[in-house]
Amino acid sequence: MTIRDGKAYRAGLGDGRAVTIDGTAVPDVRTHPAFRNAVSSFAHLYDFQAAPENRETMTFDIGGGRRVNRAWQLPESYDDLLIRRRALEAWSAENFGMLGRSPDHVASTLGGMMMGIEVFERHGAARAGAVRDFFHHARERDLFVSYVIQNPQADRSKSAGLQANRHLVASVVDEDTTGITIRGAKMLGTSAIMSDELFAANIQPMVRGEEDYAVSFAMPIATRGLRLLSRKSYEAEVRDEFDYPLSARYDENDAVVYFDDVKVPWERVFVYRDTDVARAQWHDAPTHVYQNYQSQVRLMVKMRFLAGLGRRIAETNGTVDMPPVRAKLGHLSAQASMVEAMVHAMEAGGYRRGRYYLPSPQHLYAAQVLTQEMYPQAITALRDLAGGGVVMLPSSFADFADPELSAIIAATQSSPVRDAVGRVKLFRLAWDAIGSEFASRHVQYEMFYSGAGHVTSANAYRTFDWDQATGMVDRLEASYDLAPPAPPLRAAGEGR
């Protein structure tokens, strides 16, 4: 096998992982009704990259005839970054930007760590070696790696070490010559149930005395003692994809990940009991920028989809030529174009870090601040365009099976450009994008996946070129001053 495909991905999930949902252990995530369609959606991504016509776009040669997804590529030029982005973009287009934690996300995280390997070398040769080894292990197998980097909320006024339950947050409870033992929980485990391996770390600030929490490491999902507690499955409640076409396919799921005295071998430990390096792995290395650049590429695709959905809603309602509707569509298209422009700015404004070429942190964090506010605005715009059309729909696809009901639906679900089935189909899709539980989760996700607003704003403040901006102010101020007062006029004959 030279390129990983969907069959190989599926085979890797039959490993006896400990997943629980609705109080019951899941025997096989590949066949369970809560996860099987999402597994199929991820498998489709691997089949897409393995298709001969997509081989050059989606993959690159790492030697020995082995090709892997370009998400693992470490760009050494502006052109490399663009080639890689086109692969991320093509993959995201296959799920309309709905899979926020597709395999290219944490591949980007690990790539950022590799491009900042000197951060780990300062921490110690063994820890840097662990990062290198795991990156190559995951890249050469084109693995789907997920991550958990947030702590359970609990008492948010207190840091991890000050919680009432000392072992609420995953921390080191033991160590020996073979490795460390981890006990406690992490979140949000997005896509972890469907991934091959898990990267665990702490992205929240820590203080002296919290060294037990200052660790990062990786392990297979099926590691003994690793337990995944799934949230409610939106996929499981869908009877037919006609009614919920997004929920049925792209519920990537989220899970609380609990480490029940999990043993992590030293060769998979990247940071160990060092609060400064726990921070530096994200921000001194280009990790945080590189992973969130991938997220903005995905959002660019998603915003195109939402703009297209808005246009189809207006056409179906016969309102597309009304000036207020065109104005709303124009604003929605401007938002989609803004995300695309920011992605291009990240690339054009990129910088060199040793041999590598990386996207601009300033433009990345500016985009995050703006898109956190923009996404719920876009959803509101779609709600305005759809109006009551997404509410007064047949109860389900089954209503069309009854001839009498079908006739009533045909009369009441009319459109100038679609038949009744087509109209219901579009508005069901619209509801699943803006109003279902799946849609609500996406609003929450886009608003908070990169941190709370004050966090992203602080990143934007930190990376903005203030010297250039304030220098302009200083230069203008230096160009003028208060004129000295004119000497007083003398009276005639005075001073003689």
Q: Supply the pLDDT for residue 207.
A: 83
Q: Residue 250's pLDDT band (boundaries 50, 70, 90)?
A: very high
* Residue 448 CB neighbour total at 10 angstroms: 15
Total structural domains in the chain? 2
Q: Supply the pLDDT for residue 18.
A: 97
Widest pairwise Cα distance in the chain: 117
Q: What is the CATH number for 162? A: 2.40.110.10
* More confident site: 495 or 47: 47
d(CA 95, CA 84): 18
Last residue of a domain, one of 248, 283, 318: 283
Q: What is the mean pLDDT of the chain?
A: 94
Residues 397 and 333 in one domain: yes
Closest CA to 65 of 130, 3, 152: 3
Residues 252 and 324 in one domain: no
* More confident site: 161 or 314: 314
pLDDT digits (tens, 9 = 90+) for 343-374: 999 999 999 999 999 999 999 999 999 999 99
Query: Any residues with CB less than 8 A from the CB of 268 and at least 6 apart, and which?
Result: 130, 134, 179, 217, 218, 219
d(CA 269, CA 480): 59
Residues 292 and 254 in one domain: no
The answer to whether 130 touches 183, Cβ cutoff 8 Å, is no
Q: Supply the pLDDT for residue 205.
A: 84
Domain limits for position 178: 6-283
pLDDT digits (tens, 9 = 90+) for 101-147: 999 999 999 999 999 999 999 989 999 999 999 999 999 999 999 99
| Cα 232 off chain centre by | 20
Please report whether residue 421 resides in a domain. Answer: yes
The answer to whether 36 touches 21, Cβ cutoff 8 Å, is no
The answer to whether 371 touches 446, Cβ cutoff 8 Å, is yes
Residues 172 and 292 in one domain: no
Q: Supply the pLDDT for residue 491.
A: 67
* More confident site: 496 or 419: 419
Q: Supply the pLDDT for residue 106.
A: 98
Residues 30 and 145 in one domain: yes
pLDDT digits (tens, 9 = 90+) for 176-225: 999 999 999 999 899 999 999 999 999 988 888 899 999 999 999 999 99
Q: Residue 299's pLDDT band (boundaries 50, 70, 90)?
A: very high
Residues 275 and 297 in one domain: no
pLDDT digits (tens, 9 = 90+) for 76-107: 999 999 999 999 999 999 999 999 999 999 99
d(CA 234, CA 98): 14
Please report whether residue 1 resides in a domain. Answer: no
Please report whether residue 476 resides in a domain. Answer: no
Residue with tokens 């087509």: 422
Q: Supply the pLDDT for residue 495.
A: 56
